Amino acid sequence: MSDTNYPNILSPSNLGVVPLRNRAMVAPMTRVSASSQGVPTDIMLEHYRSFAKGGWGLIFTEGTYTDEGPSQGYRNQPGIATEEHRDGWSKIVDAVHGENTPIFQQLIHAGGLIQHNNYVSSAIAPSAVDQLGKMLPHYFGDGMFAVPREITKDEIKETIKGFADAAVRSVEAGFDGIEIHGANGYLLDQFLTTFSNIRNDEYGGSMENRLRFHCEVLSAVLEAVGGNAPVGIRISQTKVNNFDYQWPGQEHDAKTIFSALKAVGPAYIHISTHKGLEDVWKSGRHLADWAKEIWGGPTIACGGLHDPVHAENILKEGKADFIAIGKGALADPEWPNKVSADLTPTAFDPGMIKPYANLQNTLDWRKNNNH
Ligand SMILES: Cc1cc2nc3c(=O)[nH]c(=O)nc-3n(C[C@H](O)[C@H](O)[C@H](O)COP(=O)(O)O)c2cc1C
């Protein structure tokens, strides 16, 4: 008999070649706390180390921009575009490894969703169309997104190379794996999405064409890393600029997307939702469940899984292999240790990321609220 109420969450596993002490992961979370040049800071080191001490099986970094072109989305976002960035991250990786915890770097290109008023005019995206929604004030964004410029085919090649070079720098920094941010409305997802991609070349039109950029980025990163670290990809329907978006072809699109990714061969697929793991397309199943069935490989579910009973059930029912937690991890870096001791983790409070999602605000909130 197991002596825990959460045997699935707490069971050891591995992701590719990386051993994990349990199946609970810190979701990628942008914290706008790097230097103005995108170099990781001491406060970031302490932030990531607190998760490692808290007993998580794996930590994902926040979305980290890939190149010195227009990949950066936010003020004080960290990059992995230069050697200085790499050396800054290396200190964080060492601190996290010092607590026996693996850490994967998430690579992001903002595309049309640049939230930094100094850079909005340089935004590139599949098509020069209005980006829905407003910039996010907690990332220092203010007002509507600008209409981006249509990315040229040469720029598509350069951007893919940017991802591959960034992944190599991440491995040099000591990261255990790479996650490509293919979700939430940023550049890759802009290609996949009908309202942001009205191209009529091989990157637009059919679902196969709109998926081409995802597959080319994934393939280039896999080749660049050459088996030195697992490479996975994050996918969502919802977006920071449209929380309700669903794939128009629903289950049929899911089959096309997850089968195409499978053919390229990621180490895992990470499903992100903004509203919690909900029933999609009235199918009675959530998106991670669909992904796992269609692609058949390691699948991470994320969205509203901070209640350990809920998270345990998702794993127990075989609807995902791992669970990632965002806001709940921010609220309680000790979540796995507490779950293991059958204690209730501290609940998230929106005040932790107000007025800005940076780390100083979270620390101030904790101090003012006696945590
Ligand atoms: C402050 C904050 C920053 C986030 N930044 C990222 C990010 O950099 N990359 C990403 O893929 N998702 C990001 N997300 C989304 C989370 O990874 C996660 O998918 C979402 O919060 C739902 O999970 P939860 O209900 O456990 O919070 C962010 C979420 C929050 C709250």
Q: Residue 27 C-alpha to ligand 1 middle, in angstroms?
A: 6
State the pLDDT at residue 1: 45
Given a cut of 90, is residue 275 above it in pLDDT? Answer: no
Q: Provide the mean pLDDT of the chain.
A: 95
3-class SS shares of the chain: helix, strand, coil, % to 5: 35, 15, 50
User: What percentage of residues in the chain have a pLDDT greater than 90?
Assistant: 90
Given a cut of 60, is residue 367 above it in pLDDT? Answer: yes
Query: Average pLDDT for residues 205-233, to the nearest whole number?
Result: 97
Given a cut of 80, is residue 303 above it in pLDDT? Answer: yes
Q: Which protein residue has the closest C-alpha to ligand 1 atom 15?
A: 29
Q: Which of 76-85, 120-129, 208-217, 293-302 has the lowest mean pLDDT?
A: 120-129
Distance CA 167, CA 119 (A): 24
Q: How many CB atoms neighbour CB 90 within 10 A?
A: 17
Residue 62 CB–ligand 1 contact under 6 Å: yes
Distance CA 69, CA 124 (A): 10
Query: Average pLDDT for residues 343-360, to the nearest whole number?
Result: 95
> What kind of fold does domain 13-368 have according to CATH?
TIM Barrel (3.20.20)
Query: Average pLDDT for residues 8-30, to the nearest whole number?
Result: 97
State the pLDDT at residue 10: 98
144-203 residue pLDDT tens: 898 999 999 999 999 999 999 999 999 999 999 999 999 999 999 999 999 999 999 999
State the pLDDT at residue 2: 60
Residue 232 CB–ligand 1 contact under 6 Å: no
Burial class of 33 by CB neighbour count within 10 A (0 to 12, 13 to 18, 19+) = buried
State the pLDDT at residue 127: 98
Query: Average pLDDT for residues 255-264, to the nearest whole number?
Result: 98
Q: Is the pTM of this model over 0.85?
A: yes
Q: Residue 178 C-alpha to ligand 1 middle, in angstroms?
A: 17
* Contact by Cβ (8 Å): 81, 108: no
Residue 28 CB–ligand 1 contact under 6 Å: yes
Q: Of 306, 323, 327, 332, which is best to mutate to test ligand 1, by the most ligand atoms within 8 angstroms of its C-beta?
A: 327
Query: Average pLDDT for residues 114-124, to the nearest whole number?
Result: 84
Q: Which protein residue has the closest C-alpha to ligand 1 atom 12?
A: 28
Active site members: 186
Residue 357 CB–ligand 1 contact under 6 Å: yes
* Confidence bin at 64 (pLDDT 50/70/90): very high
Burial class of 100 by CB neighbour count within 10 A (0 to 12, 13 to 18, 19+) = exposed
